[in-house]
Amino acid sequence: MTTLLIQTESVPLTVNLPMPIEMTMAEFYEFCQANRDLRIERSASGEVIIMPPAFSDTGNRNFNLAVQIGNWAEQDGTGLGFDSSAGFTLPNGATRSPDASWIRLERWNALTKDEKASFAPVCPDFVVELNSSSDTLSGLQAK
């Protein structure tokens, strides 16, 4: 059975599909490309998580955070900053998009061009997740 976890304003809505749909990384990438308007992540167990757009106030906080990390990364010069639209494939198989993240240049430069152009197989060195009204602490900690 395949589970889609749809994050709502108050609680996650779980949709169980009767037939298993196990997507390869390439298939998951295609699924995300076909649904560009959705914020999609995947857990280590293969659960697909669909989240609503950020509320306006959260979007403003995300923007300000990304600007600060971007400015710091540019001044520091030892790594690259990423905003909430960047997805990364973690060692446990999950594909996650933190609100803001930073990766050391030597780790980023070790990736191939193709790896960089997809959900890069790297765990960022630094991540920030903003807690919005639609988030639970346990969900953010699991992420």
CB atoms within 10 A of CB 127: 17
Domain chopping of the chain, boundaries:
2-142
DSSP string of 39-56? EEEE-TT--EEEEPPPPH
pLDDT of 67: 95
Tokens of residue 59, six digits = 């979007």
> For 3-58, how does the pLDDT look when each residue is reduced to its tens digit (9 = 90+)?
666 666 555 565 555 555 778 888 888 888 888 888 889 989 888 888 877 888 88
CATH, range 2-142: 3.90.1570.10
Residues 119/29, Cβ–Cβ less than 8 Å: yes
Dihedral angle over CA of 43, 49, 52, 56, nearest 10: 0
